Amino acid sequence: MQTRSSPSRPRDGRPAAHARFTAVALMTAALLVSACSPGSSSIKPSSAASARSDAANAPVLAPLPRAIPAALAPYYTQRLTWRDCGASGFQCATLKAPLDYDRPGAGDVRLAVTRKAATGKGKPLGSLVVNPGGPGGSAVGYLQQYAGLGYPAEVRARYDMVAMDPRGVARSEPVECLDDRRMDTYTQTDVTPDDRAEQNAAASADEKFAQACGEHSARLLRHVSTVEVARDTDILRAALGDAKLNYVGASYGTFLGATYAGLFPSRVGRVVLDGALDPSLDSRTVNLEQAQGFETAFQAFTQDCLRRTDCPLGGRGTTPTRAADHLRAFFRKLDGHPVATGDGDGRKLGEALATTGVIAAMYDEGAWSQLRAALTSAMKGDGAALLALSDSYYERDASGHYSNLMMANNAVNCLDLPPAFTGVDQLRQAQSAFEKASPVFGEGLAWQSLNCAYWPVRATGEPHRITAKDAAPIVVVGTTRDPATPYRWAQSLAHQLSSGHLLTYAGDGHTAFLRGSTCIDSAIDTYLLHGTPPSPGKRCS
């Protein structure tokens, strides 16, 4: 994903930690995916279909040799020193990995790892490594605040639950770019520019963001690719004493898990990829298809909203099209006349933050009631609740501090794939395709896709297929109305993987595991505990 939006969203009716972390997916518009074919910048605005055709011919990710290179032996033989770290029941350690795998002697990165030991009876199954996505989501935080407490009891009883913050993320030498004050300015950038001056301002915001990352994180910026993180994960597997990697990844975590499988197919254990990305797509196609995904989610929200008495977009008899027109009119009003929020830092709710707040609620249908109330208040002149949704999306806390989620997100995305657009003129030519894909969000998501155009280092990745030939069965989970990772991506990844098994959830929201479907949870639990993948074509609702 390559945009200025992130994937973690609030989730009403679920544990707070689950709400914050499970949805970590791709940064909205610029999708975190890392799969682009050479020459992605030449794709025409309306050529999504031809781009998908090209994806079928994308090169296959080649596995690495099974033998560990001598230069990497010290990393593979290191022992983790576990210590208490302030989270009850959890231990922490630091893993070393080479900064540059092509030059292992050029320095290390230090990676934060946490674990919760298996808690029950029964044959131990080794370690289960979890990643909530992003890129940029803290896996350590996810494990300590949710997965280590909220995963099924039998899974936690049989596995040591383990997480590692990827290089550049949170506790693992984080990428740093803008300070909090400048982040506030950046998140309020107008991405529906009305004239050339506003277009230039939007481009300038992305350029300044990129420059700041280059200034503050020059050492790391060339070495935060998903391939490098996958190789770090293999070092983690060895340090944990596991012959194979057992893994559950959500959203971007599916791309990381699939990349691991492609590089190390013989070391694949029980792997679940929930809310899957399609690595064969270029970044422009990813962004365009994600725009379609958010439009699908908004239509589902609207249909639900119009059946309720508290819907701010209309009542019974209002068509979904008119409801969408109502929301767009509200956004346009905010563009010129932001409303008060009571924010201690003086922020008002303008179009950019309001749009982000609405997008945040699209990740989980459990947040729809919160969105209805927030829109109702904002339309009456109180933008506090919609601002809170936006802040949760960006991981901005009550003190005004941002996590490094967005900074790491851009750093990984811009390294994994060539940019969706190389400049404003190219973007303007493609804008109509985005607006057609999503009349509500398309224009803004198109402009957010400009973020990698000015990145200070060149992309090292390109679109590719992942087959992981001869790997053990891998479970790929797709949700039919997923806003951030459209269902067809899961279909494509499951088809690419030589041992892929597609598990379908017919429903709303981003990702499916532990979000209320007993059918999905039972299928994944059975696989994790017994190694039996879902039957072909299994579908849950």
- Please give the positions annotated as active site: 251, 482, 510
Q: Which two tokens stand for residue 226?
A: 């998903």
Alpha-carbon distance 407 to 401, whole Å?
A: 13
Q: State yes or no: cis peptide before 135, omega within 30 of 0.
A: yes
* DSSP-derived 3-state class of residue 353: helix
Alpha-carbon distance 110 to 129, whole Å?
A: 18
Sign of CA dihedral 403, 401, 11, 150: positive
* DSSP-derived 3-state class of residue 512: coil
Q: Which two tokens stand for residue 420?
A: 């969706």
Q: What angle do CA 339, 344, 346 make, to 5 degrees?
A: 45
Are residues 507 and 533 in contact, defined by beta-carbon separation less than 8 angstroms? Answer: no
Residues 6+ apart with CB under 8 A from 235: 72, 75, 76, 78, 95, 97
3-state SS track over 257-291:
HHHHHHHCHHHEEEEEEECCCCCCCCHHHHHHHHH
CA torsion angle 326 329 330 335 (round to 10) = 160
**Amino acid identity for residue 52 in this structure:** R
Alpha-carbon distance 112 to 167, whole Å?
A: 9
Are residues 413 and 34 in contact, defined by beta-carbon separation less than 8 angstroms? Answer: yes
Nearest partner of 476 among 144, 249, 155, judged by Cα: 249
Q: Which two tokens stand for residue 223?
A: 């070495």
